[in-house]
Amino acid sequence: MNSQKLMAVARAMVAEDKGLLAMDESTSTCNKRFAGLGIPQTEEARRTYRELILTTPGLGECINGAILYDETIRQQKKDGTPFVKVITDAGIIPGIKVDTGAEDMAGHPKEKITEGLDGLRGRLAEYFQLGARFTKWRAVITVGDGIPSRGCIEANAQALARYAALCQEAGLVPIVEPEVLMEGEHTLERCCAVTEEVLRTVFDQLYTQRVTLEGMILKPNMTLPGLTCPKQDSVDEVADATVRCLLRAVPAAVPGIAFLSGGQSGELASARLNAMNVRFKSRLPWALTFSFSRAIQQPALEIWQGEDGRVLAAQRALYHRARCNRAACRGEYHTAMEMRRE
Ligand code: 13P
């Protein structure tokens, strides 16, 4: 492992107030989103959609890295150009999701454990050969009555740390993604307490497993009230709570924090990220950026609907969200941006 190279890639992933584009939906998740819009759930439809995303003009102005899925990293444009070449030609670093999904955790009703460590060393070597320079692994933490349990938090944190160590050994920058879910009635305060406990446990395990913090990126949830919580806090309250939580739990050696969107609307995700950067950017040790999937892709997918004639309009919608999020990284996003699309 060359630590200098790893650190350079990690810094490049969050440089220049740009972010990451998550387009690593598993086949089943992608099919579910297609089914909701009446788009055929075929390999060719998924390939066409991913080509639409990756050929969006100007994407590299806002995006440093794209997270692909196993099927996607092996695919090509219709004209035969490999997706990995399309991405790198656009100045974007290719990355890959390497966990194999969250399964029910034995002995822990309603909780999940993420799998994918078996055989991971071999898969990482192949992904590096295919051109990937970073990876992603997502752990899922559910908030509810009596959960999350210590058992669930510790098992997921250890898996994240073992994954991260294997990635760095293979010369790949790990994105470490412990996601505390939005589903539930819990308050913002509860989400903060759970997120802080999860992050402290994750960093404890990363240290134990000898992961180089300068050569990784953290992908956490913003701290948010549960979707069905009667009290929905303001954008500024969410921004303050999220940054306070991260300052307590994330070491300064980590170069960047790239949020997942977790089911927030595109506008709210941009507004909250923006508020964090407006209020705190000059005082933070790490870059605060985005690694959204739904909050960046959803409008484009809804416009496309599988129709060739709608590709350009869908690409404009994707570029618009990418620009809004880059502005949010600079603290320059404003809701007026949603009115005048360029
Ligand atoms: P969302 O932004 O849709 O939450 O997806 C991010 C992601 O990569 C989940 O693993």
154 carries an active-site annotation: no
Is residue 180 within 6 Å of ligand 1 at its C-beta? no
pLDDT at 5: 97
65 three-class SS: strand
- Look at residue 227 and tell me whether its pLDDT is greater than 60: yes
- Look at residue 342 and tell me whether its pLDDT is greater than 60: no
**How close are the terminal C-alpha atoms of the chain, in Å?**
43
What's the pTM value of the predicted model, to 2 decimals?
Answer: 0.98
Residues 82-108 have a mean pLDDT of 98
- Ligand 1 atom nearest the C-alpha of 269 is 2
**What's the mean per-residue pLDDT of the chain?**
97
Q: How confident is the model at residue 47 (pLDDT cuts 50, 70, 90)?
A: very high
Helix, strand, coil abundance in the chain, percent, nearest 5: 50, 15, 30
Q: How confident is the model at residue 340 (pLDDT cuts 50, 70, 90)?
A: low
Q: Which residue has the tokens 């990482």?
A: 124
Is residue 22 within 6 Å of ligand 1 at its C-beta? yes
- Look at residue 39 and tell me whether its pLDDT is greater than 90: yes
Q: How far is the CA of 174 from the centre of ligand 1 (A)?
A: 15
Residues 298-314 have a mean pLDDT of 98
Say how far apart CA 325 and CA 333 lie, in whole Å: 7
306 three-class SS: coil
Is residue 292 within 6 Å of ligand 1 at its C-beta? yes
The residue whose CA has the least distance to atom 9 of ligand 1 is 260
pLDDT at 339: 86
Are 202 and 161 a contacting pair, CB within 8 Å? Answer: yes
Say how far apart CA 322 and CA 319 lie, in whole Å: 5
pLDDT at 341: 60
- Strand (E) or helix (H) holding 275: helix 266-280
- Strand (E) or helix (H) holding 287: strand 287-292
* % of the chain at pLDDT higher than 90: 98
Residues 148-153 have a mean pLDDT of 98
- Determine which one of 25, 51, 111, 177 is catalytic: 177
- Look at residue 128 and tell me whether its pLDDT is greater than 70: yes
pLDDT at 2: 84
Is residue 114 within 6 Å of ligand 1 at its C-beta? no
Question: 21 — phi, psi (to 5°)?
Answer: -110, 115
32 carries an active-site annotation: no
**What does the pLDDT look like over 233-281, one tens digit per residue?**
999 999 999 999 999 999 999 999 999 999 999 999 999 999 999 999 9
Q: How far is the CA of 26 from the centre of ligand 1 (A)?
A: 11
Q: Comparing C-alpha atoms, which of 296, 302, 236, 216 is closest to residue 261?
A: 296
pLDDT at 1: 62
Is residue 295 within 6 Å of ligand 1 at its C-beta? yes
Residues 26-42 have a mean pLDDT of 97
Which domains, from first to last, does the chain contain? 3-331 (3.20.20.70)
Say how far apart CA 116 and CA 289 lie, in whole Å: 27
